[in-house]
Each structure stands twice: as structure tokens, then as C-alpha cells.
Chain A
Amino acid sequence: MNNFRQASQLLIHQFPYLVKQAWGSLQSKPAFVSGIITTLGLTLGALLTVLTLAYVMLLKPLPYPQQEQLYTLEHQLIDKDGKVDGRAFTYPNLMHFYRTQQAFSLAALIYYDADVLISSPKHPTLSQAYVTPEWFNLLDARMALGRGFEQTEAVNQYHPVAVLSYDTWQKEFSLSPDILEQKVTFSGTSYRIIGVLSQDFQEPELLDTGMKSQVFLPWDFNSISEAERKKWGNDDDLLNVLAKLPAGKNPEQVGQALTGLINNNWQENVAGYAFFNGWGIKIKLHSLKTVILGGSEQSIYLLLAGLIALVLIAITNITNLFISRTAEQQHNLAIHAAIGASKSQLFAVLLIQTGLLMLMAMVLALVVATFGFALLQQTLNHVFPRVDELAINAFTLGSALLLSIGLALFFARVSAHMLNYRQLNTCLHTSGKGNGVQVPGKIRNALIIIQITIVTSLVLACLVLFKKSLDTINQDGGFDTDNITFMVLALPSTDKEAERANQLQAVRRQLLALPQVEAVSQALAPMAFTTRALTANISNERYSVKAKDIDHKYFSLINQPLIEGNDFSPADIKDDNDVIIVNDVFARQLAPGASALGLTLNGNAIIGVVKGIRLPGKNNIPPRFYYPTSQGRNMMLIKHLPGQALTREQLVSVLGQVNSRFKLFSLSTLNERRQSRLFSQYTTAVTSGALSLLTLLLAAIGLYGIISFGTQMRRLEIGTRLAVGAKRRNIIWLIFKDNAVSVILGILTGLIGLLLLVLAFSESLTPYINWQLLPLLVATFGLITVISCCACYLPLRRYLNQAVALSLKTSP
């Protein structure tokens, strides 16, 4: 306590003097200072970035009033076996809920869509949200201009108005001040712009992380057809509900009450459909925060763990630098001690130095964090939610302050620990020979063990993730994606079906006439499927199966093998024949051990069986079937010759030649779509790969520093051994042997740590644990061994190659 008081008094009374002295002392060691600031600044910057992200995602309240009372609804369609067949609302159930519910004080309906903005000469495709007016109230959506939706835009008012996001106002209308006098036109309907959302408004991303709506339109105008609006069995993922639960109400009880309300009505309406016998509806409430967080909680914890490990490596490296620095400062500190500085006062001197360094490192860390936020917002906005809210905030600054203080105290304590205060007093009145700071071997070994433990566990974990991601990325899906483009057209709704079909066939012919084009198929992209209900004609067995409408060119275009029966004929497409093709998985389910050809489902005969395709990022192949598409289908796959892709302008020109009102809604290659689906795998691969490299780099630097310093400390010993006749190999073996124990202990500790982790989280980690890990394990040990060997040998070379007399000199 007395020591603490002395140190505090010194700090309080002589603070400016101590800072000046510390600054002067640090100025004479630019390499030491820059090494610490760079290492800590970069690693702590990365840590602060991810810490702030974790805070925003997990702890920070959503930026909406009474956010804890906001919920979304999950509409579970449960089949006769009790399995959940779908988790999205059917349109009639949604409207029934909206009209009759009384559990929520406010409930908003949302339908997410996208369409071509016809009124703009560039014809951009904008993401849309069709919402009821409550959406604006629930989220307290502040406006930059105009107003949000009110009762005039309530359901069945059919008031064609629009609200733009700030981003859209900026990008599509160049922040035009007269925006409220303009209109936007989608699919033949013009909407008067009545408002622009505020720049700082954060739209809750309900559909998918990173998916923001660019224009908000009244619910009445959503693109769901009149026929679909009456289908009680067709759920739609784009339909959503956002509602506010009055304070004190139990979400589970409300869910049960709503289940009764919706299910009873649904049962009455599907009573006539045999397919739905034994099926039911269940409603579950999910807090808005949970929905927005999605499945990213695990990723952020993993990233955080990786970065903490990285910072620990950096800290061990810097601990070693401070130990070396203390050895250098021995003489100066001995003078302080000789003129009466107490142990605690020496600690204060060291603390000021470490404090200054931590302050500078933290400034760099905050700069790095600012860049980190921008990087996350640019690249990972589809992986982590709420990245738009990332900024240096009180949490970031508080964390930075705590880390600075903690690290400054830690490094000062380590440095003070190195000093033997009693020996300091004798340091000055001896010749100085043989009196250097003796860094205990235990500390050196502990630093090596910590480094190796972290490297073993972190690199192995990262390599496992890296390999898993690469395996998924490189997995063959069973179909071609190279040289294939997927095109979606926006067609005028007023045209007659037959006329549209003729015009689309004309588009198809014109495309085929282009020299770059090898084949064209009218179909949904290979990665997209819808769900359809099927009933077998004879057995009456019911199935809910993934489905896709395709034409007769589809399988050959994507090179999906037909393994039994026939492909669709042009006549099947033209005449809309009652035929289907199933994949092998569904065929085995329909007719185990026999041929499924000839079986009929919903009156459609199975004419062929194709090999199932594996979608990017998916492990299993579900049952699927394919049915003839309409000739008026607005989606096309275009296979072009290698290296001869069609440009957007060429396609727009073809469309314009057939019908000037045909617009290009979207254009993407199958490889782009595949990469987009594998985005999280690519992100994991890049992150884990980069983290592995960074860990190895930091560890290599750290191990080199620690072992090199240890070798340097043993200079006299090495010189003496050489003087009495030790050969090079004797000395190399000595250094290797002495460090090998620490390296092996570190590897074992790392492995035990990983084993405990696997035992503690066996359920989540089981998919990652298999014999294929053995090469990774060997590779990790190999890398660590190589790094350790280099760290042992390289610093030693100097002493082995120079004259022994130099090693024996009492001062280096």
C-alpha cells in the first residue's frame, strides 16, 4: 500500500517531468517504439473493429422506439408427419391475420420485391418494399423530405405514391430538390413521390442481411397475382410481418393464441383439399433483434476468438521487446535506484513509458478500426448485420481506454518484474562484468509456450475452416456454370399471353442467331427452385417437393445428365403437356428399387429421371421435379462460346428489336450466381486463410524475437562452450534441445485446449472432426517446427560464424 502511495504521489506531482523523460527515452529507440506501435496498433485496431461489430450486433439496442417489443412472425406450415414444410406466410393467412389480430398494438405487412424503374432512362432495377402505413410508425422512420405512408395509403386505398430511401434519392435522382414533384414508374404504374427517408434511418433487414429496399410502395400494389392471393397452400418467403407487442405480454402465449386464430380459419378454407388433410399452421414470434442477427452470432464469436488469439500473440511478442528493453535500461534504472528511487517509483517511471506507448498504439488502433469499419461496410454487409451502424462510439473508446490502461500496467509490471531491485544497487559499484539483467529462463519458456499454444490452436482451427470452405467451394454441383448467362426480363403486364409468348420466341431466335450464342433455354436459373405440392395418383401419397419450370433445352444447356427415360420435347413445351421429369433422389423415394417412369403425380406422368444437382454451399440433394415451362416465361439461360459473353447493351438491343417495352430486369452469369451463393464460404476461406498467415507471421516474428533474445542472453555461455572445444553442431543441438521442450509443451497445450473445445462443443464441431484433419495437423506441426527451427538457428549463426573472442567480450 505504501509502495502504491509512493508511486501515485510521484505520478501526480511529477507527471509532466516523467512524461518528458519517458518521451526522451523512447525517442532514442525508434525501432523499439515503431515495432510496438505498429504491432499493437494493427492487431488492436482489428480487435476494436470486431469488438465494436460484436457490440453493435449483440448488445446495442436497435434504433427503433421500444425495440424490445418489436417482433416478426414465423408462419409454420406443418405437414401430416409433424415436419415443418415451410416457414413463410401464405397470402390469405397473412391478410386474415392483419384483419383480425388484436394481440399486437401495431402490425405492418411487408412484401419484398424488385422491378425495373421504367421512368428512368437508365432502367435500373430497384429493390422494393410494399408496406402498410404501420411500418413507418413502428420504426419511427424519420424523413429527410415529405412524409411516410398514412391512412391514405392503408390497405385497399390504392393510392399510388412512393417513398424513396435516401440512397436512392442520391443515386437515381442526384439529390434533386424537387423530388416530391416527381414520379416513379414500375410495370406501367406511376407512383408520386411523397417522401424521402432520412439518411440516418436504418431499415431492418428482414429478408436477408444486407438487403435494403430502395423504394417503398403501398401494400395494395404488390406484384402478387390475384390467383396467388387466393392460394391457401402457397407460402411466400417475401411476405413478412413486423409487429409491436404491448409491454408485459408473453410472446409464447401470443404465438399460441395466433396459432389458434390462423389455423382454425386455414383449416376451414383447405377442408376441400385432400392434400392438406392432417396439415396445420403454427405461429411463432421472434424478436426483431434475433431475426436481424440471423445466424451470424457464431461467426462473430469465432472472429472475436481469432482476433483475441492474435492480440495475445502480439502481446507475447511485445512482452519480449519490453524484457529486452528493460535489460538495456538496467544501467539508467540503477542510477535512479542509487539516488534514492524506491521500487514503486521505478515502477512509475516504467509505467509512464508503457502508458505513452499504449496511447500511441491506441491512436493507430482507432485509425485502423475506422478503416476496418469502412471495409466491413463495403465487403461484408451481406454477411454481418447492422454494419451500417459501425462507427467509433463510446463502446469503442471505452474498450480502447481499458485496453490501453490494462496493457500499460501489464507491460510495466512485466518490466518491473525483470528488475532485481537489490542487484540494481550493486550494479553501479561493480565493474559491470557479468551483471546484466538476468531474464529468468522460466519467463522465456513461458513466452514460447504461450506463442506455440496459440499458434497451434489458432492455425489448426483456421486451417480446418479454410479446408472446409475450400472443399465446399470446389465441390462439383453436377452441372455446368461456365459460359452461361442468366437473364430476367421485365415484361409489360398488359400484353396478352399468346402475344407475349410469340415475342419471347422471337427474342430466343434472335439470340440464337448471334454468333456468340451456342444455346438458349427458357428456364429459371439452376440454383433456384420453388416448392410444389404433389399427390401420387395411385398411392395417394402426398409430397411437398422442390420444383422448377424448364424447357426442352435446359438439361443439355447446363449439362445435367438424363439417366433414365426422355427429356422434354419441343411439343411438351408448346402444348404444355402433363409430363414431368424427376431427379434420381425423388425417383428413389417414389419407387424404391424400381423405375419411377410412368408414375403420375397430380396427373403428370414421369417421362424421365435426371441426376440430382447439388446447389453451391449445400451438402444434400433434395427430391426435385421439373415441369414444362410456358413459352411466355420471362427468364432465359444463354450459353455462349468460351470468352464471347454478350454485353448488356447487345441484349437490350435484341429486346428493343422485338418489343421496345421489354426491359432487362437482371443479367448475371451462373458463375457470379454461384459465387454469390458461396459468398460466406469465400469470406470464411479468405478470413481463415488471412488469419492463419497473420498468426504464422506474428508468431514467426515473436518466436524469432524470444528465442533470439534468449540466445543473445546466452552469448557468453555459447562463447565459453566454443572456447572449451564445442563444435558448431554441439551448440546448434544445445539451443534446439533447450527450446524443443517449450515448443513441444506449447504444441501439447494447444492440442489439449482444442480437445477440450471439441469435447465442450461436440455437437457443433462434429462435422469438422474427421481423419482428413490428420494432414492439416501434420502441416500445422510442420510449419511450427520450421518456424521454431529458423528461430533457433538464424540468431545463432552470428555467434557460430564470428570469432569466438567476440562472443566472450563482456559487453556485446
Chain B
Amino acid sequence: MTSTLENNKEIKIQMRGIAKVFETEELETHALKNIDLTIYAGDYVSISGPSGCGKSTLLSILGLLDMPSGGEYTIEGVNVTDLSLDQAAEIRNAKIGFIFQSFNLIDELSVFDNVALPLRYSSEKMSEQAITERVTECLQAVDMTHRTGHKPNQLSGGQQQRIAIARALVAKPAILLVDEPTGNLDSKSGDQVMDTLEQLNKSGTTICMVTHDPRYANMANIQLKLLDGSILTTPAPGANIKEAV
């Protein structure tokens, strides 16, 4: 693994001049314009902004779920701007953990199998015992070990999101990308999920979260605001501020 240090802090993610243009026959939409962004190990970044400002597009590009139209993007020093589909899948598997608004658990799989899924796709083959140990560890982290044999539709929304967090953590990613984690939850469950994320960050997990709930955005130590595809204020490298803007 190649890692880059800046101000003695390990750079997890670095974007330079990232742009995204959606083209149709009649229209060209600039979803992201010249985005520069650096996320360091242990950062808890929130991205917020009005609807259509490019939050989800930025998160998709951060997670290699979409490719930028221009610019340069590195994860832990590896240039991931122009990867093949399978190379991108490998990076996603090894370095990125996703938490989605609608949980995206697979109904036909048990809680255990949902959490184990990234390990099954890993290029480093693990023994069944190792997988079981790792999954159990992650389920313990989200306090869901009592539900391993259940199917997702037998769980509450909050429980499903905790399972999704466990799945995101299972492959020990470089960064957790979180998309409106409380969007489908009631406030109590939302708070529980956010507490879990905060605990994870405190234990060293790097998190980048998209939210438009200011309450949750404030929980991040770096808060980015996006408008019309541009970051309004970029924090200084290595900044650890509650309010960057």
C-alpha cells in the first residue's frame, strides 16, 4: 500500500480539479466543477448542501461508483482516476465501505451473509473461520450479534442500517462513505446510527458523510458545503475544525 503523508497526517483521499458533466442530446449539466478535496486518516467529513448541488455525485465519484469527467483522484496514494471496471471493483472492495440511505441489504441473504459479502468478493481469499470471526467482530461493533440468522426484512430500519454499517466495516476499508444514513429512519434510530458512526470515528475510522441534516453535519470535524457543483469553502490541509465555513 502506498500512503502519502502531509503535515505528518496520512492522506486517505485526494481530489484535484475533479469535474463531472452529464450530457444528453440537448443538455450538458455540470454536476461538479473543479473539486479539490483532501481527506486525512481519522477525518470525519460531512458534505451538505441543497438538493441537486452535487452531493451524491461527489460521493459516487469518491466511492468509484461513477467516473469523473476530468481531474485527478487518488486513494491512499493510488491514482484511481482511470481504472477498468474490475480494477475499480477491487479498490471498492479493499478500500471503501459504503453506507446507503436505503440500507441496500440483500433480502435473500441472512444478516451474517450480508455482512460477509465484501469478504466473499475479496481478491485475498479468506478461510470460512476467518470470515466468521471477522463478521462476528463487526456485528459486535454495532451490537447486532443476536440477529445473525435473520433476514433483513425481519429487522427494523435502525437495525438494518447497523447491519449495513457492519458490512461497510468488514473489509477494513480506508474510508467509510456514508450517504444520508438517517434518511429512512425515525429520529431515535437515526441518533443511534449517528452515535455508532461517531464511535467508529473516535476509534480511528475515516468517514465521509453526505447529509442535509445540520444536526448531524455538525457532528463531523470537517464540514463541506456544496453549491452548484462547487465546494464553497475548502478547509486547510490537516485542518481539524468544527466549522470550516
User: Is B117's CB under 8 angstroms from A724's CB?
Assistant: yes
User: Is A804's CB under 8 angstroms from B104's CB?
Assistant: no
B232 at the interface (CB under 8 A from A): no
B67 at the interface (CB under 8 A from A): yes
With known contacts A431-B184, A800-B85, A808-B100, A725–B66 Cβ distance under 8 A: no
With known contacts A730-B121, A800-B85, A723–B98 Cβ distance under 8 A: yes
What's the nearest-Cβ distance from chain A to residue B123, in Å? 9
Stretch at the interface among B47-55, B73-81, B88-96, B203-211: B88-96
A728 at the interface (CB under 8 A from B): yes
Within 8 A of A (CB), among B22-76: 56-57, 60, 63-67
What's the nearest-Cβ distance from chain A to residue B5, in Å? 27
User: Is B121's CB under 8 angstroms from A803's CB?
Assistant: no
User: Is B104's CB under 8 angstroms from A719's CB?
Assistant: yes
A-chain residues with CB within 8 Å of residue B171 when the two chains form the complex: 724-725
B186 at the interface (CB under 8 A from A): no
A810-B106 Cα distance, complex, nearest whole Å? 14
9 contacts between A and B (CB under 8 A): A433-B184, A717-B107, A720-B105, A720-B106, A723-B63, A725-B93, A805-B57, A805-B60, A805-B65
A-chain residues with CB within 8 Å of residue B104 when the two chains form the complex: 716, 719-720, 723, 808
What's the nearest-Cβ distance from chain A to residue B120, in Å? 8
A727 at the interface (CB under 8 A from B): yes
User: Is B102's CB under 8 angstroms from A810's CB?
Assistant: yes
- Count residues of chain B with CB under 8 A from any CB of chain A: 32
A434-B106 Cα distance, complex, nearest whole Å? 11
User: How many inter-chain residue pairs (CB < 8 Å) link A and B?
Assistant: 78
A810-B183 Cα distance, complex, nearest whole Å? 13
Q: Indicate the size class of the contact surface on chain A.
A: 20 to 34
B86 at the interface (CB under 8 A from A): yes
CB within 8 A of B102: which of A433, A801, A803, A805? A433
B-chain residues with CB within 8 Å of residue A723 when the two chains form the complex: 63, 65, 92, 98, 100, 104
User: Is B106's CB under 8 angstroms from A808's CB?
Assistant: no
Q: Mark B100-138, 1 if CB is under 8 A from A, else 0.
A: 111111111000000001100110000000000000000
A102-B152 Cα distance, complex, nearest whole Å? 88
From B66, B94, B98, B104, residue with most partner A Cβ within 10 Å: B104
Interface of A is mostly: helix
A800-B86 Cα distance, complex, nearest whole Å? 10
A741-B74 Cα distance, complex, nearest whole Å? 43
With known contacts A716-B104, A803-B60, A727–B121 Cβ distance under 8 A: yes
B-chain residues with CB within 8 Å of residue A721 when the two chains form the complex: 106, 117, 121
B225 at the interface (CB under 8 A from A): no
With known contacts A720-B106, A725-B171, A726-B89, A803–B117 Cβ distance under 8 A: no
A193-B169 Cα distance, complex, nearest whole Å? 102
Interface of B is mostly: loop
A805-B56 Cα distance, complex, nearest whole Å? 9
User: Is B102's CB under 8 angstroms from A727's CB?
Assistant: no
B-chain residues with CB within 8 Å of residue A804 when the two chains form the complex: 60, 64-66
B-chain residues with CB within 8 Å of residue A810 when the two chains form the complex: 102
User: Is A728's CB under 8 angstroms from B86's CB?
Assistant: yes
A722 at the interface (CB under 8 A from B): yes
Q: Mark A142-158, 1 if CB is under 8 A from B, else 0.
A: 00000000000000000
Which residue of chain A has the shortest Cβ distance to B167 in the bound complex?
A: A724
Which residue of chain B has the shortest Cβ distance to A435 in the bound complex?
A: B102
A441-B106 Cα distance, complex, nearest whole Å? 14
A804-B121 Cα distance, complex, nearest whole Å? 16
Closest 3 A/B residue pairs (Cβ): A725-B93, A805-B60, A805-B65
Which residue of chain B has the shortest Cβ distance to A806 in the bound complex?
A: B66
User: Is A803's CB under 8 angstroms from B66's CB?
Assistant: yes
Which residue of chain A has the shortest Cβ distance to B86 in the bound complex?
A: A727
B-chain residues with CB within 8 Å of residue A728 when the two chains form the complex: 85-86, 89
What's the nearest-Cβ distance from chain A to residue B51, in Å? 14
CB within 8 A of B89: which of A441, A720, A727? A727
What's the nearest-Cβ distance from chain A to residue B149, in Å? 20
CB within 8 A of A724: which of B66, B98, B101, B107? B98
A728-B66 Cα distance, complex, nearest whole Å? 15
Q: Mark A777-812, 1 if CB is under 8 A from B, else 0.
A: 000000000000000000000001101111010100
What's the nearest-Cβ distance from chain A to residue B142, in Å? 16
A320-B92 Cα distance, complex, nearest whole Å? 35
From B67, B122, B171, B184, residue with most partner A Cβ within 10 Å: B184
From A722, A724, A727, A728, residue with most partner B Cβ within 10 Å: A724
A-chain residues with CB within 8 Å of residue B89 when the two chains form the complex: 722, 725-728
With known contacts A805-B65, A808-B65, A725–B102 Cβ distance under 8 A: no
A-chain residues with CB within 8 Å of residue B102 when the two chains form the complex: 433-434, 716, 810
Q: Given contacts A803-B67, A804-B65, A808-B65, could you give 6 more A-B pairs where the C-beta distance is less than 8 Å?
A: A433-B184, A716-B104, A720-B106, A722-B65, A724-B121, A724-B167
What's the nearest-Cβ distance from chain B to residue A429, in Å? 14
Which residue of chain B has the shortest Cβ distance to A809 in the bound complex?
A: B56
What's the nearest-Cβ distance from chain A to residue B219, in Å? 23
A-chain residues with CB within 8 Å of residue B67 when the two chains form the complex: 803
Which residue of chain A has the shortest Cβ distance to B171 in the bound complex?
A: A725
